Amino acid sequence: MRSLRSEYRKNVVTFCPKERSTDGARLTTEETIEFEALDALPPFDDSGNIAWVFEGEPTTRREKRWLELYVKKKS
């Protein structure tokens, strides 16, 4: 039996400013939170289909947004 606490923590993304990269990352705090949340999602959409395409261009809004934030973070 799972505790309520483990169920609650399963869907929480923790943001720790100390762990944020200082090597020129240009994401705002809000973008960093959004990126971490997108990055933590399982690779399935709400219908159970694979949400990420591993080759070629991104196809879903979620995948496009993740890539946009990733590129901005790495620049």
How many structural domains is the chain composed of?
A: 1
Is 26 inside a domain boundary? no
pLDDT tens, position by position, for the chain (75 residues)?
444 454 555 555 555 554 555 555 589 999 999 999 999 988 887 788 887 777 878 878 888 999 999 999 988
Give domain status of residue 3, yes or no: no
- Tokens describing residue 67: 């890539």
Residue 2 lies in a domain: no
Cα-Cα-Cα-Cα dihedral sign, residues 9, 10, 11, 13: positive
Q: Does some domain include residue 62? A: yes
The whole domain housing 67 covers 38-75
The neighbouring-strand residues paired with 22 are none
Phi/psi for 71 (5° steps) reads -65, -45
pTM greater than 0.85: no
Which residue, chain included where needed, has tokens 């934030």? 69
Paired with 44 in beta bridges are 50
